[in-house]
Amino acid sequence: MASDNNPMLRDGMTGDWIGTFLGHKGAVWQARLSTDAKIAATAAADFSAKVWDTHTGQCLYTLQHAHIVRSVAFPMQDNPQVLATGGMEKRLRIFDLSRSEGSSSSPTSTNSSSPALNGSGSNTNSFNSTSFEIGPGVHEGTVKSIIWNQDYNIITTACDDRKIRWWDLRSQNPCMEYTVDGLIGSCELNTLSTVNNDPGILSIAAGKSAYFFDGAAPGRLLKKVEFNYELASVAVNNQASRFVTGATGDTWARVYDLNTDEELEVQKGHHGPIWSVSYSPDGKLYGTGSEDGTIKLWKACKESYGLWR
């Protein structure tokens, strides 16, 4: 979350700052990149989601909502033309980015040789008429996370009503539902770029438990791991059989063996709870985002990698 209203784009290997997206007037709760990294989406407390050109920093679209937006998701494909949003409206909405009224350019009409610059929110296309709601009235709490699965027709939502729901876009109804034991801290689909069409594992931190679901089979629980502390976040690397957790009550990132649940490492360096954990697409790094206002990158492989020798 960016409490200064300004989400930043950074190099995933070095952490170097590339640019800042300027235009939100409230805290940014979540940010997502498209699969081809040409556009980004942000969800904010100013009752809007924005879509950005990652090469120029330009705000392409401003999607107005009636309440705080907590989550955004692109489908897992290059050149996405739709965006899913959710938040305190308690609604799952899908916007058709190809039908912006008065738009002279699409989200992917960028110059790939242009450097990423500080953006401006002044030249944006704000529209509401091209969105539609999936499952009106089903969510009973804030939609905290949205995951667009490898199967384009399946979307997963994690909600403050302690429910994980898998939605079939063809019927616009939940095809599976699972109730977790505590309040949901994080919900991420962890896939690896080194595995073709990897369906991934859906990892969820809720209360004192981490849940791992099969990314290819909605609702199929692979494993539940219980802890003696409240989880804030969790991410998994299935190929390396590792997962990382952050807690609400301390500042450490803990690495576990996925098969035995044995604690392998404790990474110290943050000065606030770790609310977000994510592995890099190749699984060789993981990043931790903390309440202390920093993001740290940690090496998760034995060989040399980037700045790590």
Domain identity same for 120 and 196 = no
60 and 122 within one domain: yes
Q: Residue 57: give the domain boundaries.
A: 1-179
Residues of the chain scoring pLDDT < 50: 102-124, 127-129
Residues 170 and 292 in one domain: no
Same structural domain, 140 and 76: yes
Question: Among 179, 204, 224, which residue terminates a domain?
Answer: 179
3-state secondary structure (DSSP) of residue 34: coil
Q: What is the dihedral of CA 249, 253, 259, 260, to 10 degrees?
A: -60
Find the length of the chain: 309
Domain end call among 179, 196, 227: 179
Q: Give residue-wise pLDDT tens across range 134-179.
A: 999 999 999 999 999 999 999 999 999 999 999 999 999 999 999 9
Amino acid at 286: Y
pLDDT of residue 309: 61
Which pLDDT score is estimated for 110?
A: 32
Do 84 and 147 meet the contact criterion of CB atoms below 8 Å apart? no
On whether both 169 and 194 belong to a single domain, the answer is no
pLDDT value for 195:
73
pTM of the model: 0.87
Residue 193 is predicted with a pLDDT of: 73
- Same domain? 141 vs 167: yes
CATH number at residue 42: 2.130.10.10
- Digit-coded pLDDT (tens) for 89-144: 999 999 999 876 534 333 333 333 333 334 444 444 554 447 889 999 999 999 99
- 200 and 170, same domain (yes or no): no
Please tell me whether residue 273 adopts helix, strand or coil conformation: coil
In a shared domain, residues 274 and 210: yes
175 and 28 together in one domain: yes
Amino acid found at 190: N
Two structure tokens written together for 127? 């529209």
- Number of independent structural domains in the chain: 2
Q: What is the DSSP string of 47-73?
A: SEEEEEETTT--EEEEEE-SS-EEEEE
Alpha-carbon distance of 186 to 204, in angstroms, equals: 6
Residue 158 sits in the same domain as residue 20: yes
Q: Are residues 127 and 211 in the same domain?
A: no
Question: Pick from 233, 237, 263: which is nearest to 247 by CA?
Answer: 233
Which of 179, 212, 243 marks a domain boundary?
A: 179
95 and 172: one domain?
Answer: yes
